[in-house]
């Protein structure tokens, strides 16, 4: 991995890591209690309250730390729901007969057409606002996006000769999925899930901002923004803190996704040695294949991975 490529990955990991640390810390220690309103209205940042207080006198730093927990929980929860459900549906569509595949694809397209917030609002209207409902709503829309991606990736894999070889080797379809399909779609899927994580965090923040997230005393960054919005110029810390926190987490997730994609790029591997991911080409040996010694040959390949 060249130095340039790992920067995205490490930077992203560091940024996300900061938020993770904040969330973990919040589980064992908080500067104040969330219910403690003794700080005085809109106290500026100082020794007592590092980020100041909000309009009700509650410590902002405390809320920020708890908000980290909520942001991560939503991100991970939604990715889990969306990832698992989406993969299952996507695989089903990939294996399905044409008519079923068409039906599923149409349903997925319809779900994707709905803005996430709209779906969330519908669910909240039905089941009441809560963190769980928010996670499920975001997860459901994510599942549709993931399913569409998995369907395409899985179909591409299923067309490969190594899947046919697995069948003629007697491997059951179930094992083909676990041993061949999933490992091969995972790199691209992981990148997508990392991006979805960031989107999920933003979606939750939006929901909380609109008052549709977890009910008070919820400390979501989105809700913090809502509270601080009227007094933004009087006490900027109230807006800057949650805003920056969101930026750090989402950009961190996106950078991490970029880094993952760079690491998983198959044409990079093709540069080091003789093989590439380009099928159907005239290829052969570049040194000593008569004895077939397995020497990684630095065979000339162009950046598309084709032998020259």
Partner 1 sequence: MTSAITVTDLRIATDDGTTLVDGVSFAVEDGGRLGIVGESGSGKSLTALAVLGLLPAGLTATGSVLVGGVEVVGASERTLRGVRGSVVAPVFQEPMTALDPLMRAGDQIAEPLRRHRGLRGAAVRAAVREAVTDVALPEPDRVVRAFPWELSGGQRQRVAIAMALACRPRVLIADEPTTALDVTVQAQVLDLLDTTVAQRGTALLFISHDLPVVARTVDRVLVLESGRAVEEGPVRDVIAAPTHPYTQRLVGSARTLQDALDAGRRGTR
Partner 2 sequence: MSAALLGLSDVGFRYPGRSGRSRRADGSALALDGVSFAVQPGRHLGIVGESGAGKTTVLRMLLGLASPDTGTVTFDGAPLDLRDRAGIRRFRAAVQPVFQDPYSSLDPRQRVDRIVGEPLRSLGVAGGSEASDRVAAALEDVGLGADAGRRWPHEFSGGQRQRIAIARAVVAGPRVLVADEPVSALDLTTRVVVLELFERLAEEHGMTIVLVSHDLAVVARLCADTVVLRGGRVVEQGATAQVLATPASGYTRALLDAVPRLPR
Longest dimension (CA), the chain: 83
91 contacts 177 by C-beta, under 8 angstroms: yes
Using CB under 8 A as the binding rule, the residues of this chain from 89 to 118 that contact partner 2 are 98
- In whole angstroms, what is the distance from residue 124 CA to residue 26 CA? 28
Site string for partner 2, 260-299 (x = CB under 8 A): ------x--xx--xxxxxxxxxxxxxx--xxxxxx-xx-x
Burial zone of 294 (CB within 10 Å; 0-12 exposed, 13-18 middle, 19+ buried): exposed
Segment near partner 1 (CB under 8 A), from 139-147, 188-196, 224-232, 275-283? 275-283
- What sign does the CA torsion over 218, 210, 13, 194 have? positive
- In whole angstroms, what is the distance from residue 59 CA to residue 48 CA? 9
Which one of partner 1, partner 2, none is in contact with 155 (Cβ closer than 5 to 8 A by kind)?
none
> How many chain residues are in contact with partner 1, going by CB under 8 A?
16
Site string for partner 1, 220-259 (x = CB under 8 A): ----------------------------------------
Task: Rank residues 113 and 161 by Cβ distance to partner 2 and give the closer one.
Answer: 161
Using CB under 8 A as the binding rule, the residues of this chain from 277 to 306 that contact partner 1 are 281-284, 286, 298-304, 306
- In whole angstroms, what is the distance from residue 57 CA to residue 36 CA? 8
Residue 284's CB: how many other CB atoms inside 10 A?
A: 8
Q: List contacts with partner 2 (CB under 8 A).
A: 98, 160-162, 164-172, 175, 179-180, 183-184, 266, 269-270, 273-286, 289-294, 296-297, 299, 307
Q: List contacts with partner 1 (CB under 8 A).
A: 271, 281-284, 286, 298-304, 306-308
């Amino acid at each position: 991995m060249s130095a340039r490529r790992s920067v995205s990955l490490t930077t992203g990991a560091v940024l996300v890591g900061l938020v993770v640390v904040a969330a973990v810390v919040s589980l064992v220690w908080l500067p104040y209690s969330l219910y403690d309103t003794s700080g005085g209205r809109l106290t500026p940042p100082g020794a007592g309250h590092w980020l100041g207080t909000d309009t009700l006198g509650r410590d902002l730093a405390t809320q920020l730390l708890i908000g980290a927990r909520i942001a991560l929980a939503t991100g991970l929860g939604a990715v889990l729901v969306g990832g698992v459900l989406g993969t299952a549906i996507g695989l089903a569509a990939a294996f399905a007969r044409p008519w079923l595949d068409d039906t599923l694809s149409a349903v997925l397209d319809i779900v994707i057409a709905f803005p996430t917030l709209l779906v969330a609002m519908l669910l909240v209207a039905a089941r009441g606002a809560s963190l769980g409902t928010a996670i499920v709503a975001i997860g459901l829309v994510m599942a549709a996006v993931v399913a569409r991606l998995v369907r395409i990736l899985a179909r591409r894999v299923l067309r490969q000769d190594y899947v046919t070889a697995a069948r003629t080797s007697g491997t059951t379809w179930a094992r083909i999925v676990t041993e061949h399909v999933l490992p091969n779609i995972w790199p691209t899927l992981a990148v997508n899930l990392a991006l979805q994580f960031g989107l999920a965090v933003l979606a939750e923040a939006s929901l909380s901002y609109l008052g549709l997230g977890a009910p008070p005393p919820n400390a979501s960054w989105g809700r913090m923004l809502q509270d601080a919005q009227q007094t933004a110029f009087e006490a900027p810390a109230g807006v800057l803190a949650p805003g920056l926190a969101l930026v750090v987490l989402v950009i961190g997730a996106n950078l991490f996704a970029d880094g993952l994609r760079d690491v998983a790029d198959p044409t990079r591997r093709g540069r080091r040695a003789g093989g590439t991911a380009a099928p159907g080409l005239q290829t052969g040996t570049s040194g000593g294949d008569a004895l077939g010694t397995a020497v990684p040959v630095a065979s000339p390949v162009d950046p598309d991975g084709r032998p020259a």
